[in-house]
Structure 1
């Protein structure tokens, strides 16, 4: 078993690219994420209800997206990175059968707080599903 190592602040540079992360969008991911976050809005788990709202299928909620953003950044920084701030904006919806590709870059460093800011986007076939910034404090 390989343990995930946490990045040290000194090892991070402006412009560092995070490894891309591909997320297949499935019914189980969308519905499971909604239930796990106690979001019982029918558009997140009931296809007929979603279609009555004008959507072609169920669609991902912001809390699931937020969790995926955190996964993306933590896979880069490691388990001892502490999230200091997370600011995201939703764009195109995530529907089952699509894929979301995360990309990110270190866009700010603060040595006094040992914090790295990552600007990121998660893009699907319709455009950016999520854009934003995450500040992570590193050891």
Structure 2
């Protein structure tokens, strides 16, 4: 059974834009997500250590970025969608006090496999924090 909030393959169109999602970047988000992913690297929770590395503040780890990327895509596709692949590349760091805004677009559909590829980007005030592609199988 699929949720009425889940995208169905037949309803998706090539070029369809995903609704944007703005994520406020806070020290709490960065530090707690790093701890939750067992990433104890000091640059993710200790501002002095981050500054000794040449960073102005603590910065987001890739596991948090990956989770937020999945949240963005699943928010559009719904809980019945199955992730087949997620490929992301980091760019500009995410620092507290900024906002990362996700955008995306359907760039490939395959009726035989019910697969949909979404090209995505998460931008902050310095540029692209994350770019990538997610492949989903939709009901």
**Structure 1 runs (4+) greater than 4 angstroms displaced:** none
Gaps of 5+ in 2: none
Counterpart in the other structure of 1:86: 86
Once residues 38 and 112 of structure 1 are traced to their aligned partners in structure 2, the CA distance between those partners, rounded to angstroms, is 39
Structure 2 length as normaliser, TM-score? 0.97
Aligned partner of residue 35 in structure 1, secondary structure: helix
Native 8 Å contact 1:120 1:133 kept in 2: yes
> How many residues get paired?
137
> 1:26 — aligned with what?
26
**1:89-119 superposed Cα distances (whole Å, 9 cap, x missing partner):** 0000000000000000000001111011000
State the Cα distance separating 1:4 from its structure 2 match: 6.3
Superposed CA RMSD in Å reads 0.9
Match of 2:132 in 1: 132
Q: Deviations over 1:65-104 (max 9, x none)?
A: 0000000000000001000000000000000000000000
* Alignment-derived partner of residue 44 in structure 1: 44
TM-score by length of 1: 0.97
Measure, in 1, the Cα distance between the counterparts of 2:63 and 2:114.
27
Contact 1:4–1:79 (CA under 8 A) maintained in structure 2: no
